[in-house]
Amino acid sequence: MPQVTLNNGVQMPVLGFGVYAIAPEHTEQAVTDALAAGYRHIDTAAGYENEEAVGRAIAKSGIPRDELFITTKLWVQDAGEDSTKRAFDRSLRRLGLDYLDLYLIHQPFGDYYGAWRAMQDINRQDAARAIGVSNFYADRLVDLIDHNEITPAVNQIETHPYFQRGADQDLMRKRGVQLQSWGPLAQGRDDLFTDPVLTEIAIAHGKTVAQVVLRWLIQRSIVVIPKSVRPERMAENIDVFDFQLTEDEMNRIATLDTGASSIFDHRDPQSVSWLGNVRFNT
């Protein structure tokens, strides 16, 4: 599996397996199947409420810990310096791990400055090999970088053919932050899987639309974490390293950008208020 090098030298697989919206009772089997398919990068979150199931699958797999890259995230209700450290410890216990490879602030709401101070301490103690953020727009990301010692290693944001985030990626590259895509397949919205441009390119390569989209993101140096509960889809999503999109094909996909979210607008006041007040059993 190809790797990217984060700003602190940590190696991160370019393709992983996400468990967002997989029910806890189905998560252990899904992660077990993903690991069997060759995935070694697993992405979860306290807010997904399935960390324990991820941990069980990891423990039963027998795969050496140093061959895995495990990410989880801090939910809004636990932001703040002291509460972040407690939430981190709870996540480690649920996962059954001694350390994380990547710990992210899940949303740019609440006391995320206090959270970042705690996460810097966690990183210095090697309890998390890398720390980063998720869903941060450029203004909040730059502000966080400029007023703290450690620059986030990763910003995990919605990125797919209909919301391509080119300007965000340019800024992150200049600031040393790795862009990671959540929702790389747009969660199947806007008829992505029947898009004529993507379909034509897929046929030309003997691949599926999903494989073309994941390959397009990887060729843009973006880390991807597709999700599926079907083993055949897991195998399909990881099988994207035996073909290359041409410059013309990359440019054709670039024309699909709408410049707007297909899933959730983190700048809409009502959405921000709703999301910032969601409570989970973290």
pLDDT tens readout for residues 40-93 = 999 999 999 999 999 999 999 999 999 999 999 999 999 999 999 999 999 999
What is the pLDDT averaged over residues 107-121? 97
Cα–Cα distance for residue pair 82/80, rounded to 1 Å: 6
pLDDT number for residue 190 = 85
Cα–Cα distance for residue pair 179/134, rounded to 1 Å: 10
Cα–Cα distance for residue pair 21/24, rounded to 1 Å: 9
pLDDT number for residue 189 = 87
Q: Which of 222, 282, 268, 272 is nearest to 108 (CA)?
A: 272
**Model pTM score:** 0.97
φ, ψ of residue 154 to 5 degrees: the values are -140, 145
Cα–Cα distance for residue pair 135/11, rounded to 1 Å: 22
* Strand-strand pairing, 11-13 and 3-5: antiparallel
Q: How many CB atoms lie within 10 A of CB 24?
A: 14
pLDDT number for residue 181 = 98
Q: pLDDT tens-digit profile of 131-167?
A: 999 999 999 999 999 999 999 999 999 999 999 999 9
Active site members: 48
Per-chain mean pLDDT for the chain: 97
Cα–Cα distance for residue pair 15/4, rounded to 1 Å: 10
Cα–Cα distance for residue pair 73/55, rounded to 1 Å: 14
**For residues 141 and 104, is the Cβ–Cβ distance under 8 A?**
no
Q: Residue 271: in which H helix or E strand, if any?
A: helix 269-276
* Strand-strand pairing, 131-134 and 223-224: unpaired
What is the pLDDT averaged over residues 240-251? 98
Cα–Cα distance for residue pair 42/40, rounded to 1 Å: 6
Q: How many CB atoms lie within 10 A of CB 31?
A: 25
Kindly indicate the confidence band of residue 212, based on its pLDDT and cuts at 50, 70 and 90: very high
Domains with residue ranges and CATH for the chain: 9-275 (3.20.20.100)
What is the pLDDT averaged over residues 223-232? 97
